[in-house]
């Protein structure tokens, strides 16, 4: 392939690269409906996670109170049984009554403390159940939107298959050093490594090119001529 032909093919690669860039960018551009559905799902999931964490803390608190309450009730019952068996005089009766009274007050305290915790448990469980219901309700619509988006992405990728194949074929018969130079420039210049020039102006940065640069670029010789302003390879189409 002639040197000018090499640049011509490289310019074609640039066109393919730009189109492939567009397809990749479009892949990530989801619909407003899908974006909104995903955000709503994430918001509800976060709310559910926060609710379950809070419920776990309240459950632990309730279990401890229930254990303390059960233990105190057991102590009351045990002391009453011992009173019946061993309180043989008024003094012993008074001692048992004092202990039983203290334990009964403790039982009342635990019962009083447990009631609002149980109410909070019920409220949090209902909230968690409601949030799970919201997630289930939105699942069909979200699944449909995801399937539609998957099909869109597959179609975009299919569109790019032919371009990638053509690019690989062209690159395979282009001077490797020229391709590497183009790719390095493209990487640092917003995806554009080779540009044409019109009326003496670089189409990459719109700078008026010196006449000698235009003449050398028009020859299409290698190594390629670059714009003195933006550093991109120049191609006379």
Query: Are 1-28+175-237 and 31-161 in the same CATH fold?
Result: yes
Percent of the chain whose pLDDT exceeds 70: 98
Strands 233-235 and 194-198: parallel
Distances, alpha carbon 182 to alpha carbons 3, 126, 162, 233, 235, in Å: 15, 62, 21, 7, 12
- Spell out the domain ranges in the chain: 1-28+175-237, 31-161
Domain 31-161 class in CATH? mainly alpha
Q: Is the pLDDT of residue 48 over 70?
A: yes
Q: How far, in Å, CA of 167 to CA of 27, rounded?
A: 20
Residue 194, beta-bridge partner list: 233
More confident residue, 50 or 220: 50
Residue 178 near residue 222, CB atoms below 8 Å: yes
Count how many residues are written for the chain. 237
Which residue is associated with the tokens 């190594």?
223
What confidence tens digit (pLDDT) does each residue in 52-62 have?
999 999 999 99
Mean pLDDT, the chain, integer: 94
What confidence tens digit (pLDDT) does each residue in 84-141 have?
888 888 888 899 899 999 999 999 999 999 999 999 999 999 999 999 999 999 999 9
Q: Is the pLDDT of residue 228 over 90?
A: yes
Q: Supply 35's token pair.
A: 């974006």
| Level-2 CATH architecture, domain 1-28+175-237 | Orthogonal Bundle (1.10)
Q: Supply 15's token pair.
A: 């066109």
Q: Is the pLDDT of residue 158 over 70?
A: yes
Instruction: For residue 8, give the H/E element and its range.
Output: helix 3-27
Angle at the Cα of 204 from the Cα atoms of 200 and 210, rounded to 5 degrees = 30
Q: What pLDDT is attached to residue 47?
A: 98
Q: What pLDDT is attached to residue 221?
A: 87
Residue 227 near residue 195, CB atoms below 8 Å: yes
pLDDT-derived band at 3, boundaries 50, 70, 90 = low
Residue 198, beta-bridge partner list: 201
Q: How far, in Å, CA of 116 to CA of 120, rounded?
A: 6
* Buried/exposed code over 129-142 (b: 16+ C-beta within 10 A; e: otherwise): eebeebeeeeeeeb
Spatial CA neighbour of 160 closest among 12, 18, 38: 18
- Name the pTM for this structure: 0.70
């Amino acid at each position: 392939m002639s040197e000018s032909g090499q640049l011509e093919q490289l310019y074609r690669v640039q066109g393919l690269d730009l189109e492939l860039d567009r397809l990749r960018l479009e892949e990530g551009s989801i619909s407003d409906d899908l974006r909104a559905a995903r955000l709503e799902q994430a918001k509800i999931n976060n709310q559910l996670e926060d609710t379950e964490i809070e419920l776990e803390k309240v459950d632990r608190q309730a279990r401890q109170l229930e254990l303390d309450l059960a233990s105190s009730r057991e102590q009351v019952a045990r002391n009453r049984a011992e009173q019946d068996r061993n309180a043989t005089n008024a003094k012993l009766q008074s001692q048992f009554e004092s202990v039983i009274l203290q334990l009964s007050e403790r039982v009342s305290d635990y019962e009083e403390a447990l009631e609002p915790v149980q109410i909070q448990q019920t409220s949090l469980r209902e909230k968690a159940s409601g949030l799970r219901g919201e997630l289930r309700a939105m699942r069909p619509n979200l699944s449909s939107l995801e399937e539609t988006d998957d099909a869109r992405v597959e179609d975009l990728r299919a569109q790019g298959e032919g371009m990638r194949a053509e690019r690989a074929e062209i690159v395979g018969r282009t001077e490797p050093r020229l391709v590497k130079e183009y790719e390095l420039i493209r990487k640092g210049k917003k995806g554009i490594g080779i540009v044409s020039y019109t009326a003496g102006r670089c189409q990459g940065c719109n700078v008026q090119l010196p006449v000698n640069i235009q003449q050398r670029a028009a020859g299409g010789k290698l190594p390629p001529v670059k714009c003195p302003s933006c550093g991109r390879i120049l191609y006379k189409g």
